[in-house]
Amino acid sequence: MSGYFVLTQCAPKRARVHHLPGFNGSFPSEHYSGYVTIDLHHGKRLFYYFVTSEGNPSKDPVVLWLNGGPGCSSFDGFVYEHGPFNFEAAKTQKSLPRLHLNPYSWSKVSNIIYLDSPAGVGLSYSGNSSDYRTGDFQTAHDSHTFLLKWFHIYPEFLPNPFFVAGESFAGIYVPTLASEVANGIDTGVKPVLNLKGYIIGNGVTDEKFDGNALVPFAHGMGLISNDLFEGTKRECKGKYYEPRSSTCESKMVEVHEDIKDVNIYDILEPCYHGPSTWKVTANNERLPPSFRRLGETERPLPVRNRMFGRAWPLGAPVRDGPVPTWPQLLSSNSVPCTSDEVASAWLNDKEVRKAIHAEVQSVTGDWNLCTGRLFYNHDAGSMIKYHKNLTARGYRALIFSGDHDMCIPFTGSQAWTRSMGYKIVDEWRPWMSNEQVAGYIQGYDHNLTFLTIKGAGHTVPEYKPREALHFYSRFLRGKRI
């Protein structure tokens, strides 16, 4: 352990997290958190929470994690997916959630930075509200600035392999940021980051591929009839995302009518995933065991309560131009299908904010899972050109999909990775975890890998934590999954 403490001696003492309200026990590794000011004139400050590896922090990769939205906090990943703790809802209104160590935390095998980006998201903020008008290019630039400053504060981690990772709308954030970092390396920007690759889960990529994914997914999953599928394919000529005729539009209305009450984020889940639903399912002994286990997760606590809703935004792919956030679409601070009460109660508590060195609510505003104060412009276009550029330059890419997510269906990710035109070097095959088939994988040259996770929804580590840690750790080590 002596090497461990030597490693982190450069880390600022004021950033060290010594305890967290709701947790009783010792941290399995060191935690640091706080702000990095990326624009002193505007007072633009991005908040991070850094968890050092429980393995070998001096050698293990450093991974930057970004959640999507746009406008959603990366504490989504910290609280609900692969952070060091599992959060148990508070027993009473006045008490805080209880934190338990997560046996499948991604900090088991990596140093991980959870970043609230862009400014205005989560605990990040600016003294100038004009900074809340942003887009793909500005967000990538700001995140790159953050990284350069962060590694200046934590220089001991510069030699470590570095990866950028994220999910959902981070399908835009990750490749644009990775390109900024790669270009900085090529032009001699200091400090030099040891970028090795990137990871994207159920990510937004390209409006045509993303928009055309829903109909074949719904048909393959038995959510629409074969007659409706064939009729829709005939009338829309395979172009579902932008109906060009009234007959195509009519067919798409029928499709949406059939699937409107299905949980968009995991079609295996009920519309309301509360304790009573778990009990009914678990106690129905008339169902065969294999069916009762459908969608089962090894997470010790239930995944978030989710109610049915439409895909973001309202069933449409992400197009160039202004992108509304969920709160803007609904004129509220909530996100359809997603409950964030546990995270909200914890991150809006004064003692928690003090412990993690976050500013008070009068400065940052309330913490919300997804903010409505951003005005975000999708100005980088399709991400396919970014993927081609990055993989051609030798950076490794893992594109993974929970195969029961209907928000960003795997059919779209499978199609666009295939469209890259790379030679298949690892034919479609099952991959295993805990001696069971955990999903399917196809590998291409230029270090591009597409992988599915069987039975997982939109936020894969939330549904399949063991399997997620398995493929994540092997990819980081460059091992065969």
Q: Enumerate the active-site residues.
A: 168, 405, 458
- Those residues whose C-beta lies under 8 Å from the C-beta of residue 330, and which sit 6 or more positions away, are 336
Q: Give the torsion through C-alpha atoms of 36, 40, 44, 47, to 10 deg.
A: 10
Are the C-beta atoms of 348 and 359 separated by less than 8 Å? Answer: no
In whole angstroms, give the CA distance from residue 32 to residue 49.
6
Tokens of 315: 């069933």
The verdict on whether omega for the bond into residue 191 sits within 30 degrees of 0, i.e. cis, is yes
Specify burial of residue 115 (Cβ count, 10 A radius: 0-12, 13-18, 19+): buried
**Minimal CA–CA distance to 296: which of 441, 460, 104, 456?**
456
SS (H, E, C) 204-262: CCCHHHHHCCHHHHHHHCCCCCHHHHHHHHHHHCCCCCCCCCHHHHHHHHHHHHHHCCC
**Minimal CA–CA distance to 266: which of 233, 311, 200?**
311
Dump strand ranges (E) for 434-469: 436-444, 448-453
In whole angstroms, give the CA distance from residue 407 to residue 167.
12
Tokens of 475: 């990819």
What is the DSSP-derived secondary structure letter of residue 370?
Answer: B
Measured in Å, how far apart are the chain's first and last C-alpha atoms?
A: 30
